[in-house]
Amino acid sequence: MEQEEYLKYVDDFRKNHIPKKYNQIKLANDLLDPELDHYMSISNRADGKSFNYLHFFMNLAIDHGVGFTLVARHYTLQVALQQFIRKISDKSKIINEKDIQFMRTDFYIMVLWRDKQIGLITDLNKATDLKYHSNTLEDFPILIYDEFLALEGDYLPDEWEKLKTIYSSINRQDEDSVPVIKVPKLVYLGNAVNFSSPILAGLEMFNILEKHKINTVRKYGNILLEMNKNEASNEMRNLRAFNEKQDDMTSGKFTINYYQIANDSQRIHIKSNPAFITIKLDKSYLKIMYHRETFTMLLSVINFSESYDYNLKLKDNTIKSIFLSEKYFDPKQIKKFIRGTYLFDNNFSKDFITEGFQNLEFLKINKIVREYELLNNPSQFEQNDLVYNENYKDRTKKALMTKFFD
């Protein structure tokens, strides 16, 4: 299918099957873009994104053989997604509900239209087992993760890794073998709930989400992001009962606390004379970027690093890394976070570090930085340390003067 023919197909579906007051599946326009892998739609509740996107992908599978893999967070949600497909086919003008059947296995639920396999439903916890079913999964190259944003305690510990594993099981064919889209695609559908999603961390989306304008679609590398606030859907809901008029799931935006989040001038300052330290955590990495003279520090949690200087677990020791033993931790260090000593790259990094995960709020970050400087640049460190201490004294004197003689 050529781009022009495909766009007409999408436009016809939109005009004939999506009322204007609901989500208009704008991400679908760029499904054939060879430079895009991830498609993310975030909006307020009742926007119709899940219904309309899944309805479209069901139709695409029936008409053009591009199957979909619908992923749930837990096994128990597979049945809910099966019922959702029933609901879509019941309301559809082009898919007869009687033509939709389901075939259950231990690892997934196959979705059939008449005798044709158009999709399957599975869950993240089946990721390892699904590797042995790659011959089946590769026929369903559009991976859809509905409700990928959740309440903070609902996320799985290895959510990003499990999604990658399922995608790897699908991504086994060359471009000529994948109909229409050429390469497998990932579609994420969710309401603006919180910043703690491992998916957002894996895609390094936090700074992007903070600045992305509502009701726009924009490309960021291999990611296409759509953020919507659908006023029509809000008008249909009773927002009075729980005073929801301004909450995230109504506005379609995340609530952002900018306290201790580095601003542009602070970032420019640090990058003017930067140094980097990487610490391997359990499943992710803590990156410390600091200015070599002022020791202004910026902390961020990232999903991947080719190398690291320190590690939390003994099993991750290397010839070049240093194990973070008990001497690198002190409960008193939490005072530095309370005083705002450190800057953070984004809200996710701040939450991750300060909420008690792996005792990172007790980590002696200053000790690590000074040790790193002594090991890698001893003469320069002594000079910088002297400047830092002098500046610290000056700041302390000014603070005392202000305190007593304001």
Using the predicted structure, report yes or no on whether residue 234 has a pLDDT greater than 90: no
Compute the distance between CA of residue 219 and CA of residue 223 in angstroms, rounded to an integer: 6
Q: CATH: 3.30.420.40, 3.20.20.30, 2.40.30.10, 3.40.50.300. Which one for 3-251?
A: 3.40.50.300
Burial of 52 (0-12, 13-18, 19+ CB in 10 A): buried
Our separate counts of H helices and E strands in the chain read 15, 15
pLDDT of residue 46: 79
Contact 196, 236 (CB under 8 A): no
Contact 297, 260 (CB under 8 A): no
pLDDT of residue 385: 60
pLDDT of residue 192: 83
pLDDT of residue 257: 77
Burial of 129 (0-12, 13-18, 19+ CB in 10 A): middle
Give the CA dihedral 320, 323, 328, 331, nearest 10 degrees: 140
The model's pLDDT over 136-178, given as tens digits with 9 standing for 90+, comes to: 999 999 999 999 998 877 888 788 999 999 999 999 877 777 8
The band of 44, judged by pLDDT with boundaries at 50, 70 and 90, is confident
pLDDT of residue 243: 60
Using the predicted structure, report yes or no on whether residue 376 has a pLDDT greater than 70: yes
The model's pLDDT over 177-228, given as tens digits with 9 standing for 90+, comes to: 788 999 999 999 999 877 778 899 889 888 888 889 999 999 999 999 999 8
The structural domains of the chain, with segments of one domain joined by +, span 3-251, 264-404
Q: Evaluate if pTM is beyond 0.85.
A: no
The model's pLDDT over 106-135, given as tens digits with 9 standing for 90+, comes to: 999 999 999 999 999 999 999 999 999 999
Compute the distance between CA of residue 328 and CA of residue 393 in angstroms, rounded to an integer: 25
Segment 89-93 shows an average pLDDT of 94
Using the predicted structure, report yes or no on whether residue 370 has a pLDDT greater than 60: yes
Contact 115, 155 (CB under 8 A): no
